[in-house]
Structures are given as C-alpha cells and as structure tokens.
Amino acid sequence: MKDEYEIKFRLDSPDALIEALAAAGAEFLGEGYETNHIFDTPDGALKARGVLLRLREEPRGVLLTVKEPLECVGVKGRREHEFRPGAGYREVAAMLAALGYGETFRYRKHRRSWRLPCGVTACLDELRTGFFLELEGGSPEVVLTAAAELGFTPGQGLVQGYPSLIGGDRS
C-alpha cells in the first residue's frame, strides 16, 4: 500500500516535453503498451465510494490495483493497493466476475516513463484522444514542483482519470 499523488497535462505534441525531461536530468525507465480494464459491481458501488478497481495488461504481465480516494488540494490523491497475480488476464477477470465485478470500461495507451531527480515519475501517455503527461509522486508539493520545473502551471492540470478524459464516466 502506498499513497500516490498525481496530475495530468494535455499535450499538443510530445516533443517539447521530451526536451524538458532531458534538460531536467530525467532518467528514461522504459516504454510499452498497456490495456486497462476498469471493474465495478452492476450498481456502481465502487464508483459511488470513489474506489477504482483496475486490471492492467502490460508487457510484464497483469497488475491488479485498487485505488481509494485521499483528501488533497491541487492534485489527485489515492491510496493504492496493488499486486501482480501469477495468473493471466482471463483468469483474474474470471475471479473478479465470480466476486460480482464486471468490466465497465477499457482503454489502451502507449506509455513512456522517466524518473525525475526529485523522485517524481513522469509518464508520457499516448491514447486515442492524444498525448498526456502524468506526474506521480509521494506528496502534492513534490508533484507540483516537478510540474513547474517542466514548464506547467497548476491551472493547466487535470485531476480526472483517463476514462473521464477519453469518454468514459469514471473519475
């Protein structure tokens, strides 16, 4: 379990961001495609509580995540519980279905990740609706400081989740 704070920024093009990351001394961590499956009960009980249940398919396997809301200002705060089950997507999705959870939304993205010297992770995400920068770190202050270092202001930031930003109704 960890507390995670994040903010997103919509980008016209990734080129300026990649240059800013290099100038900031960011270390490239890797890239790959992810498919994110959001699950909930038929009556939307998790969404009503602000809880996200996600099963992600990525190059290293599947990752099951539960995110609970945290109170904070200026960024999105979540308490995150996650683990890598030994089973594949189909098996884990079947287990979730047996517990009463069904897939409510799915989206795919290409993600490139960097670690900034301050410890913040910077992710350049390409979705069907365009490019986004997602900054994640251990406190709201460090995330907002990293955003400023890369040339972004808090007023430009987005705290919605990708399903909301690309046409779903999850936050």
Q: What is the pLDDT of residues 126-170, one digit of tens each?
A: 999 999 999 999 999 999 999 999 999 989 999 998 988 887 654
Contacts of 134 (CB under 8 A, 6+ apart): 6, 7, 8, 122, 123, 125
| Domain-located, residue 6 | yes
pLDDT tens track for 3-51: 999 999 999 999 999 999 999 999 999 999 999 999 999 999 999 999 9
Radius of gyration of the chain (CA): 16
The verdict on residue 170 lying in a domain is no
171, pLDDT greater than 60 = no
User: Tell me: the pLDDT tens digits for 85-125?
Assistant: 999 999 999 999 999 999 999 999 999 999 999 999 999 99
Residue 171 lies in a domain: no
Tokens representing 163?
Answer: 């399903």
The reply to whether 160 falls in a domain is yes
Contact of 39 with 101, CB cutoff 8 Å: yes
Domain hosting 142: range is: 2-165
Give the helix/strand (H/E) hosting 15.
Answer: helix 15-23
Query: Mean pLDDT across the stretch 55-73?
Result: 94
Instruction: Quote the pLDDT of residue 169.
Output: 56
| Phi, psi values for residue 167, rounded to 5° | 115, 0
Q: Is residue 141 part of a domain?
A: yes
Q: Is residue 35 part of a domain?
A: yes
CA 127 to CA 110: how far, in whole Å?
7
Name the domain count of the chain: 1
**What's 140's domain CATH number?**
2.40.320.10
Query: What whole-number distance in Å separates Cα of residue 50 and Cα of residue 68?
Result: 6
